[in-house]
Amino acid sequence: MSKVMKQRLQQLLQRIAIACEQAQREPQSVRLLPVSKTFSHELVQQAIMLGLTRFGENRIQDIRSRYEHFAGQPVQWVMIGHAQTNKARDIARYADELQSLDRLALAEALQRRLDGEQRCLPVYIQVKTAQEDSKFGLDPSQLMPFLAQLKHFDRLQPQGLMTMATQTDDTKEIRRCFAQLRLLRDQAQEAGYENITRLSMGMSGDFELAIAEGATDIRVGSALFGHRA
């Protein structure tokens, strides 16, 4: 077991605990999703030995590789990157959760493939809160109509919302993104979508801000695995 990774995990959990204390929240209310994209199987195995059992990946082909390599181990693979409709078959087969659902065409494709697999898939709806063309996600104004349509897809199990904040050093802008997602979640619940409870937001550099704004899931890569080559 890597002493370096163990130390990084301890430091990460301490950062989470401090952020929760400042936000008057319990540390248990925040779930850590280690983002293992581009890191070796060896490093992921070290993380598993430290007790981590859920990992986020950007590409479904990488989830398939992990799925096959770690077969038999109690690990879940979460798709967090942009999901192409033509990859629906592999998502339905290999992903344990999808955090980037952002269009009906993808929902329809997943429904068909999940029918074939005879399974259901927990999903988060990705919302575009950042003012950047490079970001994916629903426009906030489209969320309620989208949730209404999702009722027709019984193989998809909506859990909450996901967003990526604007890439900037402006903490006010970052918090605006996170606060907007929380407000959308609250509005969804008030509209009767009581299953929309979780907020996946915040990464290694800004998760403290996300926790302050109500994040329930934080997606952390470099703070645990180190910087990517």
DSSP per position, 168-222: SS-HHHHHHHHHHHHHHHHHHHHTT-TT--EEE---TTTHHHHHHTT-SEEEESH
Give the range of the structural domain holding residue 166, as residue numbers without chain letter.
3-225
Higher-pLDDT residue of 133, 86:
86
What's the pLDDT at 136?
A: 93
Assign residue 23 the CATH number of its domain. Answer: 3.20.20.10
Q: Computed from CA positions of residues 50, 36, 97, 141, in that sequence, does the dihedral angle turn out positive or negative?
A: positive
Predicted confidence (pLDDT) per residue in 128-185, tens digit: 999 888 889 999 999 999 999 999 999 999 999 999 999 999 999 999 999 999 999 9
Give the separation between CA 227 and CA 25, rounded to whole angstroms: 29
Q: 84 CB contacts (<8 Å, ≥6 apart)? A: none
Q: Is pLDDT of 229 > 70? A: no
What's the pLDDT at 1?
A: 54
Q: Mean pLDDT for the chain?
A: 96
Predicted confidence (pLDDT) per residue in 13-37, tens digit: 999 999 999 999 999 999 999 999 9
Overall number of domains in the chain: 1
Predicted confidence (pLDDT) per residue in 204-228, tens digit: 999 999 999 999 999 999 999 988 6
pTM above 0.75, yes or no: yes
